[in-house]
């Protein structure tokens, strides 16, 4: 279900597995993986370069990702 993009159904299937097999490791890990895939992330990078002619360059980059559930 996850591979097809049906996130709600993937959660439901994993939770149904836990109803029959309490604390089943694969289903629990799958739910944790789904939860982590929808967590917002922030990535920041900074760079500094220079040369023999006293030229300097600074570069800053930030990416923020807010996953959306369809």
pLDDT digits (tens, 9 = 90+) for 12-69: 999 999 999 988 999 999 999 988 888 899 999 999 999 988 899 999 999 999 987 6
Q: What is the pLDDT of residue 69?
A: 65
Q: How far is CA 25 from the centre of its chain?
A: 20
List all residues 6 or more positions away from 7 whose beta carbon is below 8 Å from its beta carbon: 1, 34, 69, 70
- What is the pTM assigned to this prediction? 0.60
Q: What is the pLDDT of residue 16?
A: 92
**Residue 2: is its pLDDT beyond 90?**
no
15, two tokens: 């939770």
Q: Are 57 and 49 in contact (CB under 8 A)?
A: yes
| CA dist., res. 43 & res. 65, Å (int) | 9
Give the residue, 6 or 48, on which the prediction is more confident. 48
| CA dist., res. 49 & res. 41, Å (int) | 27
């Amino acid at each position: 279900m996850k591979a097809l993009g049906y996130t709600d159904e993937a959660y439901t299937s994993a939770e149904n597995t836990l109803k029959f097999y309490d604390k089943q490791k694969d289903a629990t890990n799958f739910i944790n993986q789904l939860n982590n895939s929808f967590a917002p992330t922030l990535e920041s990078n900074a760079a500094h370069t220079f040369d023999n002619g006293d030229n300097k360059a600074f570069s800053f980059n930030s990416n923020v990702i807010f996953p959306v559930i369809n």
